[in-house]
Structures are given as structure tokens and as C-alpha cells.
Amino acid sequence: MRSALQNSGSKPGSRRAFVKKTATSTVLASALGTTPFAILNPQAARSDGNKLGIALVGLGNLATHQIAPALAKTKHVRLAGVVSGTPSKIESWRNQYGIPAKNCYSYETYDRIADNPEIDIIYIVLPNSMHAEYTIRAARSGKHVLCEKPMANSAKDCEEMITACRQAKRRLAIGYRCQFEPHHLRCLQFARERTFGALKMIEAGFGFRIGDPNQWRLKHRYAGGGALMDVGIYALQACRYLSGEEPTHIAAMETKTDPVKFSEVDESITWTMTFPSGLNCYCSTTYALSGINRLNAHGDQGWFRLNPAFSYSGITGTTSNAGPIHYSPIDQFAAELDDFAICVREDRESKVSGLEGLKDLRAIEAIYQSIRTGRTVQVAETISDTTL
């Protein structure tokens, strides 16, 4: 079977292409924590048991247009229930997906989900400020949790989420879809194998022009921040997982061209990060314009880049001397959902665990602190399982 992720840099059918494809798939599989076959063709990796049931909490745009379609492609998990504060939405989802009435909940009846054996996992797709509460309630109900990014509005909330899941002996993962995307996994391979030498500098940015001025993303009480919390976190994440390190120092600056629209949250931020190895990163994010969507990594022997880098589809890239980075697209949400279901079944930690989300929030808090003080901020010491 021809690989769905076949790299276009080698001729199909050649021994070189086969060896390259096999070696790459093994590395990508190791990064994902699953089998090479599942990475080469995630849609073909079928579970030999019943799928785990998942309930979506929050039926907004992301759940409707990305996660629900992804669940139609997953092999290890199925849409089993929904939670919403809007009765009309619940009725619509029931009709479209054939969800039993007993598996539908309001926010007031949410805790009754503990008595439902058909639901194994809860996916939190709510405004950022609600992530902590609904994750903790899910864990206390005996359910595993997949929570959208950012994990929460503060590192303290992240710590409480991790503690609640550990006390309940439930697994917790954060929706970092790019860590399951083949172009990003290929870049991770470049970084780990030092294909272009030791990383010396990374430039990453993600932004778009935000619309409706009344949406929750522009309200601090719900979003916790603006562009940085929403899409800047992708750039931050990329620097962290490519380097395999945590930043030691961060310096940041914010600008606003529309102080009325962005009175409560950030509009545009640029920041730099220094890592223990000496790696320097320059990042940017904005709600003011579209077109910033890139990841450029430079080693002392060459470079690799993705542009666009963080989209749901259409990601592509190139390198200084190893040809293009090109794979057939996958459904990133389906990949992350299936991976978490496998982690739950095997009772092991996800590579995008709550600890990963906490580390991002520690860095984000340092970025905001630098903006407030106008100074370079030393990031909190490296977090480990033993420090929580």
C-alpha cells in the first residue's frame, strides 16, 4: 500500500524511497507513541475492540466544524454524548448524529455524566476560563479528559486540573493538534537528529484579523488574553518541542492599533526566548492582520521551514539541502483523538499531557509579566512530575 505520507523528495518505488519512508515513519511513530503503520495511514489503523465513547462539552464553531467531522474518521473513539447550555443545539446534534437523549446534558446536569458508562472521555471545547472547572468536574465524575488549548487562563488553574485528574486516576491531555501533524513531526525529526546541525535560532509566528468585536475571545474574563492565548501559543509550542528545552529568559512587547476593540486583551505581541543550549527564538502573534503563519528553524549547518505552518490543512515546507517537506494531509483532530484513546486504553501518559499545557502557561505568564514591567523575565524553574 502506498503511504499516505509519502515524501515527495524520493522517487516512488525506489529502494531509496522505501528506506527513507520506513525510517521516517519509525521516527514519526516513536514521536507519536504508536505504530509506524498507523502513522503512514492513520485512517487505516482500526481498533480491534469497541471504540471509546466521547462527549463534547461546548458545541461552538470548533466542535461543529472540526471535531465532529474528525470523529467520523476516528478508529478508536466515537461521539457518544454532548453537553451544552443551548437546548436547540443539543436537539440539532441529536438529530444529526443519532445521539441518545440519555447521553445529552446541560451544564447544570453535567455531573450526572458520572453515571453514564457509555462515556469514557470528555473533550472540553469551552471558552478558556471554563476549562479548569469542567476538567476538574469531569475527573471527579471518573472520566478521562481531553481539553482544548490553552489549557487554562493561569498556571495555577493548570496545576489544579493536573492534581484533580491524578487524584481521580484519570488521564488528561491538551489539544495540541500540531504535535500529530506529519510536517511538524518531520521537523521534530530534523531537530532531534540534528540533520541541519544544532539549532541556533527559531522564528515562529501565527496571527489573523479577528472579526466580531463582541465575541468571547476579546473578553478578558473568558479568554484570559488575546492573540497570544489563542494562536500565539502555537509559535510558543513549536519552539518548545523543537528545542526539547524550556525557555530560561523571555522579553516581550505589545502594540495596539485599535485600543477600543482590544481594550481587554492583547492585539499584537512580539517576544524573544532564550533556552539553556543558547538557542534564541523570535516569535510574533496578532489579531490585527492575516498572513502570519510560519515556522523557520536555523541550525549551524542549514535550515528547515514551514509556511503555512499551523493551519488545519495546507501545511507545506522546505529545507536548505534536503528537499521539500511534503506529506498528504491528515485530519489533525482525528489523529489527536485516536492517540488519546490509545493512551487511555493502555493507561499511559499522553505526550501532550497536562504537564505540557502547564509549561506553556508558565511561559505565557512570563510574556505578560515582561510586557507589564518592560523587563526581561526569568522563567520559573523547569517543571517535572515530582514538582506538582
Q: Which of 28, 331, 351 is nearest to 188 (CA)?
A: 28
User: What's the mean pLDDT in 55-78?
Assistant: 98
Look at the chain and report how many structural domains it folds into.
1
pLDDT in tens, 153-162: 999 999 999 9
Torsions phi, psi of 6, nearest 5? -60, 130
**Could you tell me if 290 and 211 are in contact, meaning their C-beta atoms sit under 8 angstroms apart?**
no
The amino acid occupying position 162 is I
Tell me if 57 is assigned to some domain. Answer: no
More confident: 373 or 13 = 373
**Could you tell me if 118 and 81 are in contact, meaning their C-beta atoms sit under 8 angstroms apart?**
yes
On the question of pLDDT at 212 being above 90, the answer is yes
**What does the pLDDT read at residue 387?**
60
Tell me if 60 is assigned to some domain. Answer: no
Tell me if 198 is assigned to some domain. Answer: yes
Q: How confident is the model at residue 306 (pLDDT cuts 50, 70, 90)?
A: very high
Query: Of 47-51, 72-76, 122-126, 337-341, which gets the smallest average pLDDT?
Result: 47-51
Tell me if 221 is assigned to some domain. Answer: yes
**What does the pLDDT read at residue 160?**
98
pLDDT in tens, 236-289: 999 999 999 999 999 999 999 999 999 999 999 999 999 999 999 999 999 999
pLDDT in tens, 3-62: 333 333 333 333 333 333 333 333 344 443 333 323 333 333 333 359 999 999 999 999
Range of the domain at 280: 183-328
Is residue 149 annotated as part of the catalytic site, yes or no?
Answer: yes
**What does the pLDDT read at residue 8?**
35
**What does the pLDDT read at residue 1?**
33
Is residue 327 annotated as part of the catalytic site, yes or no?
Answer: no
Q: How confident is the model at residue 322 (pLDDT cuts 50, 70, 90)?
A: confident
**What does the pLDDT read at residue 93?**
98
Tell me if 12 is assigned to some domain. Answer: no
Task: Pick the catalytic residue from 234, 241, 327, 368.
Answer: 234
User: What's the mean pLDDT in 340-369?
Assistant: 98
H helix or E strand, kind and range, residue 325: strand 324-325
**What does the pLDDT read at residue 16?**
33
Tell me if 271 is assigned to some domain. Answer: yes
Task: Pick the catalytic residue from 21, 143, 149, 359.
Answer: 149
Taking all residues of the chain, what is their mean pLDDT, rounded to a whole number? 89
**What does the pLDDT read at residue 385?**
58
More confident: 388 or 362 = 362
Tell me if 189 is assigned to some domain. Answer: yes
Q: Which CATH number do you get for residue 233?
A: 3.30.360.10
Q: Which residues contact 263 (CB under 8 A, 6 or more apart)?
A: none
Tell me if 359 is assigned to some domain. Answer: no
On the question of pLDDT at 110 being above 60, the answer is yes
